[in-house]
Amino acid sequence: MVNTSPFIEKSINNAAPQIMGILNVTPDSFSDGGKFSQIDAAMYQVEQMINDGAEIIDIGGESTRPGAKDVSKSDELLRVIPVLKAIKQRFNVLVSIDTSKAAVMSESIEHGADIINDVRALQEPECLTVVAQSDIRVCLMHMQGQPRTMQENPQYEHLIQDIKDFFVGRIQACKNAGIIKNRIILDPGFGFGKTVAQNYQLLAQLSQFSVLGLPLLSGTSRKSMLGSLLNREVDQRLSGSITTAILAAQQGAAIIRVHDVKETIDAMKILQETANYS
């Protein structure tokens, strides 16, 4: 039995999107000179994101940046599971696990994960089966190629239609495996096998995915589509991240995945207040 869906309600009521705070647990994520344990440092960051208004925490143990190397199953489990357990012991917040590995999905589900966030849309072996055996939600993201090479020469016949077709195929694969439609969140995958121009076309036309009748997740935070246009290093992309979050929210995104929770929440409050008078 699936819980009532805050995501679907949000997209139907045109309410403010939920903010998903990014928690990377790759080895270089908490470089504080060894002052805190990795878990303490992660919990500090989670508490801050929750206090700032995040409703979902997305834990990622594998970097999916362009050019990133693969991570072994055992390393990913060692990074993700202790952090998931610690969050679930301390906080009442939805937790999403950013993974494409069935074993990580399975252990995460066992330890109380609420959402599987898969940049490979459950196409890796056993993933459909593992998620089908649970009742949690899944975010199916579109990616052309694989992280190591995806930015080399992305090509589409018709960008939006190609991504829609991909979603239709993956929704059907989920259905065949026993994952009902209202467990699914869709994400067009900004920066995953798209040129800068294609990313902006996607952002401009995000609302076109609403015909699929599922909540949309948008993730543009600090991405190179901002750096390329603005000529800004990764730590100088806050304005770009917020502007793109606003554009996604205005087109009905139900969830926005961000690094800068507090600033994004401020922007969403202004958007909501203004919408009350439109």
Residue 187 binding ligand 9MG, by CB under 6 A: yes
Q: How far is the CB of 194 from ligand 9MG (least distance, A)?
A: 11
DSSP string, 186-198: EE--TTSS--HHH
Up-side HSE of residue 47: CA atoms within 13 Å toward CB? 9
Residue 109 binding ligand 9MG, by CB under 6 A: no
112: left (phi > 0), else alpha (psi -120 to 50), else beta? Answer: left
Residue 143 binding ligand 9MG, by CB under 6 A: no
What is the C-alpha separation between 28 and 36, in angstroms, rounded?
14
- Angle at which helix 73-90 crosses helix 102-110, to 10 degrees, equals 20
What does the block give as tokens for 51? 């206090």
Residue 119 binding ligand 9MG, by CB under 6 A: yes
Residue of 137, 190, 193, 242 interacting with ligand 9MG (CB under 6 A): 190
Per CB under 6 A, the segment of 126-134, 186-194, 240-248, 258-266 that binds ligand 9MG is: 186-194
Contact 110, 72 (CB under 8 A): no
- Residues numbered 73 to 92 that lie near ligand 9MG (CB under 6 A) are none
Q: How many angstroms separate the Cα of 265 from the Cα of each of 226, 227, 234, 260?
A: 19, 22, 20, 9
Point out the catalytic residue in the list 183, 194, 223, 237. 223
Residues contacting ligand 9MG: total by CB under 6 A: 13
Furthest CA-CA distance within the chain: 52
Active site residue 257: yes
Strand partners, 184: 138
Residue 257 binding ligand 9MG, by CB under 6 A: yes
Residue 244 binding ligand 9MG, by CB under 6 A: no
- Angle at which helix 38-52 crosses helix 261-275, to 10 degrees, equals 20
Per CB under 6 A, the segment of 32-40, 85-93, 187-195, 204-212 that binds ligand 9MG is: 187-195
Residue 215 binding ligand 9MG, by CB under 6 A: no
Residue of 98, 106, 151, 222 interacting with ligand 9MG (CB under 6 A): 98
Nearest alpha carbon to residue 139 among 104, 174, 164, 108: 174
Q: How far is the CB of 217 from ligand 9MG (least distance, A)?
A: 5
Q: Nearer to ligand 9MG by C-beta: 90 or 128?
A: 128
Residue of 84, 94, 184, 217 interacting with ligand 9MG (CB under 6 A): 217
Strand partners, 256: 19, 218
Active site residue 181: no
What is the sign, positive or negative, of the torsion defined by CA atoms of 27, 33, 34, 39? negative
Contact residues for ligand 9MG, defined by CB under 6 A: 60, 64, 98, 117, 119, 139, 141, 187, 189-190, 217, 219, 257
Which residues are the active-site residues?
A: 223, 257
